[in-house]
Amino acid sequence: MTTSSGNLAQKAVTETAIKIDNLNKWYGDHHVLKDVSLDISEGEIMVVCGPSGSGKSTLIRSLNHLEEYQEGVVSVFGQPLSRDRQSHKIIHQTMGMVFQNFNLFPHLTVLQNCTLGLTWLRKMSERDADKMAMRLLDRVGIAHLATRYPGQLSGGQQQRVAISRSLAMEPKIMLFDEPTSALDPEMVKEVLDVMIDLAKTGMTMVCVTHEMQFARQVADRVVFMADGEIIEVGPPEQVLVNPQWDRTREFLQHVL
Amino acid sequence: MDDLNVKNQPVLKQFVPTPPRPPHKSERGILGTIRHRCFNSIGNSLLTLCVATVLFYLVKHVLDWAVFNAVFIADNRRQCMDISPDSACWAGVISWFNGLIYGRFPVDEQWRVNIGVLLGLVWLLPLMSKRIPLRNFILLSWIGLYPFVGGYLFLGGRFGEELGLVHGAMTCLALAFLAIIYANWILSALGKKGLNELFVPLVSRLVERRIHLLSFVAVWLLVALVIASGLSQVSLEPVPIERWGGLFLTFIIAGFAITMAIPVGVILALGRRSKLPVIHWLSMTVIELVRSVPLITVLFMAVTLLPIFLPADMEFNKLTQVLVAVCLFAGAYMAENIRGGLQAIPKGQYEAAATLGLGYLHTMVLIILPQALRMMIPNIMTSFISLLKDTTLVSIIGLFDIMLMARNIANDKDWVGMHTEPLVMISVLFFILCYSMSQYSLNLEKRLKVDR
């Protein structure tokens, strides 16, 4: 495993947002995550890539406990997470997630999707929640669709709603699980543009994606995973242009 | 990179889509449709003519019996026979019509049934308008409070005497709530603040939090007091439950079953999906047990077995026992409908709710159940329709519902042996009721389908 000393030194002053320590997960006999350790600093943009079945989605879903793991510790801002109430609270207050299939609530309008958490969990007044959600929708360029239902929107628009919905809860860390994989080629760009904008605001982001262009443009570090292991970690110019391992090179030849 | 490519290429031809043309002329208009569907070949034309002839004779015979040759005015069955022996004798049904609708409810008090049913409908009326705020709240208030108003009007009695204090108080609160709903509706149409905001300035001087809620409660109690002082002057003739009957009783049983089916069904369905073994097995036992037994048996058990298990001093009337039985029966069926809907919800919905931080109750009430229930509207409505029809079974255990009243006509000395006409009349009545329910369900489905 290679580490990028230069990048870490740069970020040394900032706090560690997520610390993954020796994570191991099995599906029955299948060992999907093998001794995965990784530190993600506050404000860092981390892109996770790798072939399908390499465990990258499982890894990102383990961070907010959508998947259970058998061994290892995930800490968020220094707080080790477990299965208790306190950990759940930390997860929901600090992490937002965007899914491959958007997972918008189809029976609610775009605006209601975004205000749901604000009114029911934050106990915000309807007017304040609407105002905040509209600001976010405006930021991703779909304020004019606020009264529509998700089923009436294109894939790209739906994914932008999903991003606003997560942002409404004001997370410190955003997890993206293949946000553009279910999209038509014409719509990938509009979602990536939103993510690039978000990256510029200093949000900590962990993205599982196959968009190498995006990785090169905004990632601070790229993680390459295969067979449940982290093979390479480093700045994009190192991992993507000049990989140290044959497995990485083989993968890159397929996606680039 | 893409931008560069575009710039280097020569000027492209602009693509303009071809405008759509209207459909082929043979399929246009009503005549076109009929020609296209019914007379598109010699064989089909013959078939159309044959079917049309058969239909014509069938309809003619039915109309002759039921309308053209039927007797509407007669004193007894013999007179009917004399006028037109082979046709319907509606005179009997007409003379018993009151009984079919109200059962043996005293004639002088029947206005109370009318008012009660009307109030129930009026309460639900605001749900038709999309602009009314808190529509779910109105529906909940109907479920929780309307039974007290209905009970008061149907049972009658005087406050504090035949009518229990709790029941009386709830009746006043219910009526007050209804009054506030309507006052607010009118006030909002006039562009004014709701009645419940009346005390906001006063309350805000006393407390800092929950001002609107407290103001609402204050207004509610005040209106209820006014109504209570009015109602305490009135004394309604008590009508025992044994005298309830006819379509009115059918409405009460079916209405109760339909309203309770969803909550009971949701609880049982969620229980069956629960990971806690005790709750899981308990719900499953109830569902499977009740579903595997005919409704008649459930009704008999409720009337004959329940009193044996209950302590001797606890005595329920037959109607209460029947209501409990029907409610359990409806709930068990509904539970399986709802479980089907729950299974159709993708896992991603739970995950999205979880990442937002919603707990079990929030996830279920806000995300999962609304979708599951919408998805199952056709099945739920089918259950409701069969419930409405199944309630006629209560005649077997001696409740004078519309079915038993109809059979009583044949025992009347003036109308001895008249079985067909009352049953036809009931069929038509039930068809109208059930068909409107199914139409409403289609309408509901269409209205809620926008999102898919």
| ipTM of predicted complex | 0.90
- Give chain A's domain count: 1
Nearest to B348 among A91, A103, A149 (CB): A103
What mean pLDDT, rounded, does chain B reach? 86
Output the pLDDT for position A7.
45
The set of residues, in sequence order, having a beta carbon less than 8 Å from that of A15 and lying 6+ positions away, is A41, A42, A77, A78
- Count other Cβ atoms within 10 Å, centred on residue B124: 13
Q: Is residue A211 part of a domain?
A: yes
Q: Which two tokens stand for residue A9?
A: 């030194």
Tokens 């029809």, residue located: B389
Nearest to A105 among B354, B367, B452 (CB): B367
Domain of residue A109, residue span = 44-54+93-254
Q: Is residue A82 part of a domain?
A: no
pLDDT of B451 > 60? The answer is no
Which pLDDT tens digit goes with each residue over A181-203? 999 988 999 999 999 999 999 99
Q: Looking at the DSSP assignment, which residues form a beta bridge with residue A24?
A: A71
**Does the distance separating the beta carbons of A151 and B357 come in below 8 Å?**
no
What mean pLDDT, rounded, does chain A reach? 90
Output the pLDDT for position A8.
44
What is the CA B32 to chain-centroid distance, rounded?
A: 41
Q: Is B19 near chain A, with CB under 8 Å?
A: no
Distance from CA of A150 to the nearest CA of B (A): 7
**Does the distance separating the beta carbons of A117 and B356 come in below 8 Å?**
yes
Q: Looking at the DSSP assignment, which residues form a beta bridge with residue B123?
A: none
Nearest to B352 among A95, A103, A152 (CB): A103
- The whole-angstrom separation of Cα A196 and Cα A209 is 13
Q: Which residue of A has its CA nearest to B367?
A: A105
Output the pLDDT for position A3.
41
Which regions of chain B carry the CATH code 1.10.3720.10?
A: 260-411+419-452
Which pLDDT tens digit goes with each residue over A1-40? 344 444 444 444 578 999 999 999 999 899 999 999 999 9
> Counting beta carbons within 10 angstroms of the beta carbon of residue B403, is it exposed (0 to 12), middle (13 to 18) or buried (19 or more)?
buried
Percent of chain B with pLDDT over 90: 35
CB B410 within 8 A of CB B260: no
Q: Is residue A124 part of a domain?
A: yes
Output the pLDDT for position A234.
94
> Counting beta carbons within 10 angstroms of the beta carbon of residue B7, is it exposed (0 to 12), middle (13 to 18) or buried (19 or more)?
exposed
Q: Is B134 near chain A, with CB under 8 Å?
A: no
Q: Is residue A210 part of a domain?
A: yes
Output the pLDDT for position A15.
85
Count of A–B CB contacts within 8 Å? 65
Q: Is residue A6 part of a domain?
A: no
Tokens 């079916």, residue located: B254
CB B328 within 8 A of CB B298: yes
Output the pLDDT for position B184.
83
Give the CATH number for residue A173: 3.40.50.300
**Does the distance separating the beta carbons of A117 and B452 come in below 8 Å?**
no
Q: Is B210 near chain A, with CB under 8 Å?
A: no
Nearest to A151 among B348, B357, B451 (CB): B451
Q: Is residue A23 part of a domain?
A: no
Which pLDDT tens digit goes with each residue over A128-141? 999 999 999 999 99
Q: Is A169 near chain B, with CB under 8 Å?
A: yes
Longest CA–CA separation in chain A, Å: 56
> Counting beta carbons within 10 angstroms of the beta carbon of residue A126, is it exposed (0 to 12), middle (13 to 18) or buried (19 or more)?
exposed
Output the pLDDT for position A1.
38
- The whole-angstrom separation of Cα B256 and Cα A148 is 36
**Does the distance separating the beta carbons of B351 and A66 come in below 8 Å?**
yes
Output the pLDDT for position A2.
40
Output the pLDDT for position B5.
52
Residue B8 pLDDT level (bands cut at 50, 70, 90): low
The per-residue DSSP string of B84-133 comes to: -TTS-BHHHHHHTHHHHHHBT--GGGHHHHHHHHHHHHHHHGGGG-TT-S
Output the pLDDT for position B133.
67
Nearest to B370 among A66, A95, A107 (CB): A107
Which pLDDT tens digit goes with each residue over B21-80? 887 776 677 887 788 778 888 898 999 999 999 999 999 999 998 888 888 888 888 888
* DSSP state for residue A88 in the 8-state scheme: H
Q: Is A97 near chain B, with CB under 8 Å?
A: yes
Output the pLDDT for position B7.
57
Radius of gyration of chain A (CA): 18
**Does the distance separating the beta carbons of A121 and B356 come in below 8 Å?**
yes
Query: Which of B209, B356, B365 to mutate to test binding with chain A, by most A CBs within 10 Å of its CB?
Result: B356
Residue A42 pLDDT level (bands cut at 50, 70, 90): very high
- Count other Cβ atoms within 10 Å, centred on residue B389: 14
Residue B249 pLDDT level (bands cut at 50, 70, 90): very high
First to last CA, chain A: 22
Output the pLDDT for position B131.
67
Specify the fold of B260-411+419-452. MetI-like fold (1.10.3720)
Residue B270 pLDDT level (bands cut at 50, 70, 90): very high
Q: Is residue A49 part of a domain?
A: yes
The set of residues, in sequence order, having a beta carbon less than 8 Å from that of A79 and lying 6+ positions away, is A87, A90
**Does the distance separating the beta carbons of A101 and B356 come in below 8 Å?**
no
Q: Is residue A114 part of a domain?
A: yes
- The whole-angstrom separation of Cα B93 and Cα B406 is 8
